[in-house]
Homo-oligomer: A and B are copies of this chain.
Amino acid sequence: MTTQIATNVHWHHGQIDRTTRSRILQQTGATLWFTGLSGSGKSTIAVALEACLADMGKLCYRLDGDNIRLGINRNLGFSAADRAENIRRVGEVSKLFVDAGLIVLSSFISPYSADRELVRQLHIDAGFPFLEIFVDCELAEAERRDPKGLYKKARAGEIKNFTGIDDPYEAPTRPEIHLRSDHLTLQQEVDVILAHMKSAGLLGALQQSA
C-alpha cells in the first residue's frame, strides 16, 4: 500500500455529485479494465467497444499504457516498483473518471495480480463499478502477431523486463469477463462485453439508492 504523505488534507465535497453527473449524461460511470499480454488485443477491443458505445451516445474515455506513459507516467519505467506505481496512478485516474460519470476503458498489460487487486479495491471502496476483462491469448499467438515488433526486440535482448519473455504475467483467476481472444472475432468480443454491461445495469443512468 502506498503511504499517505500529506496530512491536513480532507475531501472537499461539492454541491454536484456523481448522481448529478450521471443524470446529465444518462449513463453510469464504470471502469472496464483490460489486462493481457502485449499483442493480445486489449487496445483493439477497447477501440472497437468505444466506437459502439459512442454510437449509443455514451461518453467514454480510453486510458492506454502507451498514452499514459507519454503523459502522467512519463517518469516511470518497467521495474516491478515502477509498474506498480504506473498501475496505481492509472487506477486513481480511472476512479476520477468514473466519479465524473464516464465509462473508462483502461488497457494495460498490468501483469501483477496485486496491482490489479489494488485498483479493484479502490473502486470497491468508493462503490464504483469495476469490470476486469482478461484478454486471454497464448504467448505464441501474441508473439506471432507482434504488432509493434516488441517481442522480436525482447527476444533479441534489446528490451528488458518484457512481460511473457523475461517478466511474468499473472493471469486473473476470477475476472468478470474472460475473452479467449485467439478463438473469438472482434465483434464477438465486443458483443460479450456489451451483454455483460447490459446485465450489470451499466448502460443506463445510475440507479438511485432508496
Contacts and interface: CB of A to CB of B under 8 A. Distances in A.
Interface of A: 2-6, 8-12, 14-16, 20-21, 24-25, 43, 46-47, 50-51, 54, 57-67, 69-78, 82, 85, 89, 92-93, 95-97, 99-102, 148, 150, 153, 159
A6 B69 CA distance: 7
B47 A14 contact: yes
B153 A8 contact: yes
A157 to B, nearest CB: 14
Given A11-B66, A59-B100, A6 B47 contact: no
Nearest to A154: B8
Q: 7 tightest CB-CB pairs across the interface, nearest first? A: A72-B92, A9-B66, A61-B100, A6-B69, A71-B92, A5-B77, A14-B47
14 contacts: A3-B75, A5-B69, A12-B64, A14-B50, A15-B47, A16-B51, A59-B101, A61-B99, A61-B100, A72-B89, A93-B93, A97-B97, A97-B100, A100-B100
A85 B24 CA distance: 33
Contacts of A59: 21, 24-25, 59, 100-101
Per assembly, the copies of the chain total 2
A187 B47 CA distance: 42
B159 A60 contact: no
A20 B54 contact: yes
Given A24-B59, A71-B92, A100-B102, 20 more contacts: A2-B74, A5-B69, A5-B74, A6-B69, A6-B76, A8-B148, A8-B159, A9-B66, A9-B70, A11-B70, A12-B43, A12-B47, A12-B62, A12-B67, A14-B46, A14-B50, A24-B54, A72-B96, A93-B93, A93-B96
Contacts of A69: 5-6, 9
Contacts of A25: 59
B61 A24 contact: no
Given A54-B24, A95-B71, A96-B71, A77 B6 contact: yes
